[in-house]
């Protein structure tokens, strides 16, 4: 699928009452989490700080995110183009499977935030590259990257600087 068709389908998002990741739609400031391990703070999670294609997004930035913009709507998917830039969002898994390239997802429930990233190749096979799961109760997080040992993080809410 090309960028133009994703942009035309980007209006697939319909949030009811509560915006992305427990933020009231437009009523509260964005939430930013800084996640650290071994004294290094190298993962940032933003919840509702970014918006694209008419939807608030949850995004994760860290050393395991490569070749994509890891942003997606609550319980949905974000797809990136060959240059790594976000080209569309959807909640429809079938729509995502028509894409060839990087895909991120954001799953939210009462106990956790789960971000995943991978790539859909030719033949519509999905290969997961990484997961980042955060406990909403304790702030404990785990980054799992294919072929590497999992890394434990501790996340805390921080004030956005801008």
Dihedrals φ, ψ of 150, to 5°? -60, 150
State the pLDDT at residue 161: 67
State the pLDDT at residue 162: 63
Domain layout of the chain by residue ranges: 3-9+30-158
DSSP 93: H
The SS3 of residue 70 is coil
Q: What does the pLDDT look like over 82-99, one tens digit per residue?
A: 899 999 999 998 888 888
Q: What does the pLDDT look like over 36-80, one tens digit per residue?
A: 998 777 899 998 888 999 899 999 999 999 999 999 999 999 999
Q: What does the pLDDT look like over 89-137, one tens digit per residue?
A: 999 988 888 888 999 999 988 999 999 999 998 877 889 999 999 999 9
pTM of the model: 0.79
Q: What does the pLDDT look like over 3-33, one tens digit per residue?
A: 434 433 332 322 222 223 333 333 446 789 9
Give the C-alpha separation, 143 to 71, whole Å: 16
Whether 150 contacts 144, CB under 8 Å:
yes
């Amino acid at each position: 699928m090309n960028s133009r068709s994703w942009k035309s389908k980007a209006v697939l998002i319909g949030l009811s009452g509560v915006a992305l990741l427990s933020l009231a739609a437009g009523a509260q400031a964005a939430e930013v989490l800084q996640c650290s391990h071994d004294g290094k703070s190298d993962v940032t999670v933003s919840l509702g700080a970014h918006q694209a294609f008419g939807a608030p997004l949850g995004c994760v930035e860290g050393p395991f995110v490569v070749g994509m913009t890891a942003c997606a709507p609550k319980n949905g998917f974000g797809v990136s183009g060959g240059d790594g830039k976000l080209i569309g969002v959807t909640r429809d898994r079938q729509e995502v499977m028509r894409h060839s390239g990087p895909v991120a997802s954001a799953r939210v429930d009462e106990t956790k935030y789960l971000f995943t990233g991978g790539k859909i190749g030719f033949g519509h096979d999905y290969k997961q590259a990484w997961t980042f799961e955060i406990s909403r109760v304790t702030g404990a997080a785990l980054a799992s990257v294919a072929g590497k040992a999992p890394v434990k993080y501790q996340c805390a809410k921080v004030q956005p600087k801008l």
